[in-house]
């Protein structure tokens, strides 16, 4: 498949239920995201945005249509192959941080690298560098429980970056943070995109958070309602 796209959804449908009770969570979605973009995916509850993100993150599969990731048709991959794709090419940031509370920041970052079979010295080097990227170079030996909410989310972002993924999916990353901390986290994500070219796809329902992204894709009733600054 000849394409410069990092992500392509083509005529993607996701159906739940059967017969008259059938609901189309996604109803024929077409979406292209190129490398180095910063895209906000928006929409009210039930609009399809979370379903789309689960498919993009290889956590779910479409009922019909095609999802190409770096040119690979994800639908042709086995469950194990999709797991490897997630491990090596996708970083996730969640609303709830998902850190091990009694474990140090460095150890939280090293965990995904252990799954890769990476040696201890290289794991430590990469983890320290990732913490430095998010401004927590001096907090590596603090446990997650000793860090503020904003610092924990920074660690979570560093963990998403440590395996050098092709894309980071951030699902409501500021949902548990106050306004000032939310903008601090979004400024960090914008800087990582601007300075390091990291591709970021953000799910949010907040306009001021979406404004940090360079492109806003709005979902409504299982369809893309609008797309500002679409990839060429």
What confidence score (pLDDT) does residue 232 get?
44
What confidence score (pLDDT) does residue 117 get?
87
What confidence score (pLDDT) does residue 230 get?
57
What confidence score (pLDDT) does residue 96 get?
85
What confidence score (pLDDT) does residue 1 get?
39
Report which of 110, 161, 155, 113 is spatially closest to residue 136, judged by C-alpha positions: 155
Tens of pLDDT along 102-134? 999 999 999 989 988 899 999 999 999 999 999
Pairing of strands 72-73, 64-69: antiparallel
Task: Report the chain's C-alpha Rg in angstroms.
Answer: 18
Report which of 60, 50, 132, 58 is spatially closest to residue 95, judged by C-alpha positions: 50
Q: Where residue 54 sits, what CATH number does that domain have?
A: 3.40.50.300
Tens of pLDDT along 46-62? 899 999 999 999 989 99
Instruction: Tell me the C-alpha distance between 3 and 13, whole Å.
Output: 22
Structural domain including 49 reads: 5-99+168-228
What's the CA angle centered on 80, arms 204 and 107, to 5 degrees? Answer: 65
143 in a domain, yes or no? Answer: no
What integer is the mean pLDDT of 22-27? 93
- Asked if residues 52 and 29 have their Cβ atoms less than 8 Å apart, the reply is yes
131 in a domain, yes or no? Answer: no
Mean pLDDT for all residues in the chain: 92
174 in a domain, yes or no? Answer: yes
Tens of pLDDT along 132-163? 999 999 999 999 999 999 999 999 999 999 98
What confidence score (pLDDT) does residue 8 get?
96
H or E stretch at 42: strand 38-42
pLDDT classification of 219: cutoffs 50, 70, 90: very high
Residue 2 has pLDDT above 90, yes or no: no
What integer is the mean pLDDT of 174-199? 92
- Asked if residues 127 and 109 have their Cβ atoms less than 8 Å apart, the reply is yes
What confidence score (pLDDT) does residue 19 get?
87
141 in a domain, yes or no? Answer: no
172 in a domain, yes or no? Answer: yes
Instruction: Tell me the C-alpha distance between 212 and 173, whole Å.
Output: 13
What confidence score (pLDDT) does residue 3 get?
52
**How many structural domains is the chain composed of?**
1
84 in a domain, yes or no? Answer: yes
129 in a domain, yes or no? Answer: no
Tens of pLDDT along 59-104? 899 999 999 999 999 999 999 999 999 989 999 998 888 899 999 9
What confidence score (pLDDT) does residue 98 get?
87
224 in a domain, yes or no? Answer: yes
Entry pTM: 0.91
What confidence score (pLDDT) does residue 229 get?
67
């Amino acid at each position: 498949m000849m394409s410069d796209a990092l992500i392509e959804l083509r005529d993607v449908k996701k159906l739940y239920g059967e017969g008259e009770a059938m609901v189309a969570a996604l109803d024929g979605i077409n979406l292209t995201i190129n490398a180095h973009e910063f895209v906000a995916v928006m929409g009210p509850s039930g609009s399809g945005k979370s379903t789309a993100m689960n498919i993009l993150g290889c956590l779910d599969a479409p009922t019909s249509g095609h999802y190409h990731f770096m040119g690979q048709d994800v639908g042709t991959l086995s469950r194990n192959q999709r797991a490897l794709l997630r491990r090596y090419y996708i970083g996730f940031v969640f609303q709830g941080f998902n850190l091990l509370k009694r474990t140090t920041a460095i150890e939280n970052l090293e965990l995904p690298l252990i799954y890769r079979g990476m040696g201890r010295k290289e794991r430590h080097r990469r983890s320290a560098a990732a913490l430095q990227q998010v401004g927590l170079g001096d907090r590596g030996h603090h446990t997650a429980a000793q860090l503020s909410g904003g610092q924990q989310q920074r660690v979570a972002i560093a963990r998403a970056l440590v395996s050098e993924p092709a894309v980071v999916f951030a699902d409501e990353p500021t949902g548990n943070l106050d306004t000032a901390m939310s903008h601090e986290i979004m400024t960090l994500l914008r800087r990582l995109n601007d300075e390091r070219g990291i591709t970021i796809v953000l799910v949010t329902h907040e306009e001021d958070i979406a404004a940090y992204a360079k492109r806003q894709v709005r979902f409504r009733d299982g369809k893309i309602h609008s797309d500002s600054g679409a990839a060429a």
